[in-house]
Amino acid sequence: MRSGRYGDLVGEASGVHGTGWEFAWLDGRALGSEPSWSYPDLARAQLRHAGSLLDLDTGSGELLAELAPLPPHTIAVESWARNIPVARDRLMPFGVPVLTELPGGEEEFDVVLSRHGRLPAADIARLLRPGGRVLSQQVGSDDLLALNDALGATPPRVQRWNAEVATAALAAAGLGVTDVREEHPSVTFRSIEEVVRQLGASPWQVRDFTPERYAKELRRLDAVIRARSGFTVTAHRFLVAAARPFDGPTQ
């Protein structure tokens, strides 16, 4: 547990602004949240014989760069303004363009990847070549709900989002689901600083969050963390893989 005065910890955390999925500040601090599978390893397996790749919501491009060598025709999509220039700089050496919207063509890609991004089933079916594959790791609608409860905040998602919903959408788009996994790993926040940084880096969790607006609730949670040497909540991760049949998607 990181010690320090409440004001100092919150003040330090409020000054951090990350990009993409680079939560390096959590190293050695918050514990957990990773599922039992390795998404990078599964993604590399998909790319072994692929000639084309679309990476949806690439963030700042850090994961895509780690998957190099990439297929000759690789495109990344990112719509969050803060991430776009970072992703373009990082992926430029790999010859990967970063678009802000989905490509408009059809049957262009052997593989579509989406880690913690969108999963637009109909567009994926349109963009995949016959026999093409999609692999996605998603953050489910139950993710960190106890943190929202502790702050008296509304849940981040109104609609249910889990493996069942995602696979139904992929199947409805004509794709054949080949793998489904779902887990709820524990996450332990060991200081109020970690909580504030998490909420700053994930603005969708508590959409109206500021340390000032939630000062009373944060102080109460800070007392709980100090008394218990941590605050444990449950994450929600699921993985789905699917393929487009060689005779194309059916609607």
How does DSSP assign 72-102, residue by residue? Answer: SEEEEE---TTTHHHHHHHHGGGT--EESS-
Kindly give, in sequence order, each residue whose CB lies less than 8 Å from that of residue 45, ignoring residues fewer than 6 positions away: none
66 belongs to a structural domain = yes
| Distance between CA atoms of residues 99 and 88, nearest Å | 9
Burial class (CB in 10 A: 0-12, 13-18, 19+), 7: exposed
* DSSP strand pairing (109-115 vs 52-56): parallel
Q: Can you give the CATH number for the domain in which 67 is found?
A: 3.40.50.150
Work out the average pLDDT over 227-231. 95
| Distance between CA atoms of residues 192 and 10, nearest Å | 7
Residue 91 has pLDDT above 70, yes or no: yes
| Distance between CA atoms of residues 49 and 172, nearest Å | 27
Quote the pLDDT of residue 17: 52
Specify the higher pLDDT residue, 21 or 71: 71
Residue with tokens 């409805």: 172
251 belongs to a structural domain = no
170 belongs to a structural domain = yes
Residue with tokens 């996994």: 181
What's the number of domains the chain is made of? Answer: 1
Q: What is the pLDDT of residues 101-146, one digit of tens each?
A: 999 999 999 999 999 999 999 999 999 999 999 999 999 999 999 9
145 belongs to a structural domain = yes
For residue 67, CA distances in Å to 39, 63, 109 come to 11, 7, 17
Quote the pLDDT of residue 34: 83
Q: What is the pLDDT of residues 52-66, one digit of tens each?
A: 999 999 999 999 999
250 belongs to a structural domain = no
Helix count and strand count (H, E) for the chain: 9, 10
Residue 189 has pLDDT above 70, yes or no: yes
When computed from its CA atoms, the radius of gyration of the chain, rounded to whole angstroms, is: 19
Quote the pLDDT of residue 26: 41
Neighbouring C-beta atoms of residue 185, cutoff 10 Å: 14
DSSP 197-218: HHHHH-TTTSTT--TTTTHHHH
| Distance between CA atoms of residues 34 and 183, nearest Å | 9
| Distance between CA atoms of residues 140 and 127, nearest Å | 24
Residue 29 has pLDDT above 50, yes or no: no
| Distance between CA atoms of residues 114 and 244, nearest Å | 16
DSSP 54-74: EEES-TTSHHHHHTPSPPSEE
- Give residue 98's domain range: 6-243
27 belongs to a structural domain = yes
If you average pLDDT over every residue of the chain, what do you get? 89
Work out the average pLDDT over 85-103. 97
211 belongs to a structural domain = yes
Stretch (H or E) spanning 245: none
Residue 5 has pLDDT above 90, yes or no: no
96 belongs to a structural domain = yes
| Distance between CA atoms of residues 115 and 42, nearest Å | 11
- pLDDT-derived band at 43, boundaries 50, 70, 90: very high
Residue 228 has pLDDT above 80, yes or no: yes
